[in-house]
Amino acid sequence: MKSGWIVAVLLLAVLVVLGVLWLRSDKSDEGTFTLYDGSATAMERVHIATFDSAEGPSIAEGAAFNKVMCEAVREALQEQATARQGTDHYWCDKGRFRP
């Protein structure tokens, strides 16, 4: 009977740890930006990068940093695509990548 209680307590502890990990992994989209690529020939967007740095002491500062970085990479990629006369179109969206 004693081993049944031990198993129950261990199972409960595992569930609590999994719950905490799940809550911590579910980061808010606030302050996160995602870079996408889409071309005239493709029917879908392609995920390039997600910018979710926590730079700065507040979410607002992190969001500003992430937006600036996403836009800087977007501009560089767009310039390369234009130079090679490609049909790629790059853009940044607020939030995490959603398939």
Contact between residue 89 and residue 38 where contact means Cβ atoms under 8 Å apart? yes
pLDDT tier, 91 (very low <50, low <70, confident <90, very high otherwise): very high
Q: What does the block give as tokens for 29?
A: 């989209």
Q: For 5-64, write each residue's pLDDT tens digit.
A: 675 655 566 555 544 444 444 456 788 999 999 876 667 889 999 999 876 667 678 889
Alpha-carbon distance 42 to 86, whole Å?
Answer: 12
pTM of the predicted model as reported, rounded to 2 decimal places: 0.66
In one-letter notation, the amino acid at residue 73 is V
Alpha-carbon distance 62 to 30, whole Å?
Answer: 9
Alpha-carbon distance 80 to 60, whole Å?
Answer: 31
